[in-house]
Structure 1
Amino acid sequence: MFVCICNGVTDTEIKQSIADGCRDMASLQAELEVATCCGRCGDMCEKLLSEAHHVHEPRSVGILIHAV
């Protein structure tokens, strides 16, 4: 689906750029020019960034140890 209508950028292109190393909005703007015209796609771009970072965050497993 198109996320940035002004520049014709799809969610697939954004996800690929994130997978290739874009870590923030500034890097997405530099690479794909999203959110550089009308700005309406900014929220969706931020959401895709957030989702991608959440998926790649290592999960910690808490283990309770009883002290003796």
Structure 2
Amino acid sequence: EKIISVATKDPRYGYRRSFQQLNEHTLKEIEHFFRVYKELEEKAVEIHRFGDRDEAIELIRKYRTDVVQP
């Protein structure tokens, strides 16, 4: 799973709060990026769908407990 975030003061994307506010071309660019960077690692990638903000927050909560604190 990948989580994409945007700085709140980003002039191009800062006001957006959901992937649904992105146009189709931008979503395709994001998918393309993840496919190409995995090809460079000679790994396969499966992109099923984009999730919403609440799903991202839940994933962060779920996986942050797996991080070892120094």
Both structures adopt the same fold (TM-score exceeding 0.5) = no
**Structure with the higher fraction of residues in strand conformation:** 1
Query: Which structure has the greater CA radius of gyration?
Result: 1
TM-score, length of structure 2 as denominator length: 0.30
